[in-house]
Structure 1
Amino acid sequence: MEKTKLRYIILTALIAAICVIGSFIKVPVGVIATAALDSAPAVISVLFLPPVFAGAAGALGHIATGLTSGFPLGVFHVLIAVEMFAIVAIFAVLHRKNMYILKWVFVVIANGVIAPLPFYFLISPAFYIGSIASLTIATVVNCVIAIIVMPVLKSVAERAGVSA
Structure 2
Amino acid sequence: MKGKMVSWLAVLTALSAVAAMIKIPAIVGSVALDAFPALLAAALFGGGAGAIVGAVGHLLSAVVGGFPLGPMHFLIAVEMAVLVWIFAVLYKNRRTIAASVLFILGNAFVAPLPFIFLLNKGFYVAIVPSLLIGSIINTVIALVAIPRLSSVVTHELVKREAKQ
Q: TM-score scaled by structure 2?
A: 0.89
The match for 1:79 is 75
The answer on 1:14 being equivalent to 2:11 is: yes
Supply the RMSD in Å over aligned alpha carbons. 1.6
Of 17-26 and 143-152, deviating more is 143-152
What residue ranges of structure 1 are gaps of 5+ in the alignment?
A: none
- Whole-angstrom CA distance in 2 between matches of 1:117 and 1:45: 26
Of 129-138 and 56-65, deviating more is 129-138
- Give the superposition deviation at 1:161: 4.3
Q: % of aligned pairs identical?
A: 35
The count of corresponding residues between Structure 1 and Structure 2 is 158
SS of the aligned residue for 1:72 comes to coil
SS of the aligned residue for 1:25 comes to coil
What residue ranges of structure 2 are gaps of 5+ in the alignment?
A: 159-164
The answer on 1:89 being equivalent to 2:85 is: yes
Corresponding letter in the other structure for 2:19? G
CA offsets 1:37-92 (integer angstroms, 9 cap, x no match): 10011101123212112101110000000000000010011000011111111111
The answer on 1:62 being equivalent to 2:67 is: no
SS of the aligned residue for 1:38 comes to coil
CA offsets 1:82-132 (integer angstroms, 9 cap, x no match): 111111111111111111110001000110000001100001011011111
Q: Is the 8 A contact 1:11 1:49 kept in 2?
A: no
Q: Is the 8 A contact 1:9 1:53 kept in 2?
A: no
Q: Is the 8 A contact 2:38 2:50 kept in 1?
A: yes
The answer on 1:135 being equivalent to 2:131 is: yes
SS of the aligned residue for 1:27 comes to coil
- Whole-angstrom CA distance in 2 between matches of 1:79 and 1:7: 30
- Whole-angstrom CA distance in 1 between matches of 2:45 and 2:153: 13
SS of the aligned residue for 1:15 comes to helix
The match for 2:36 is 40
The match for 1:112 is 108
- Whole-angstrom CA distance in 2 between matches of 1:73 and 1:148: 31
Q: TM-score scaled by structure 1?
A: 0.89
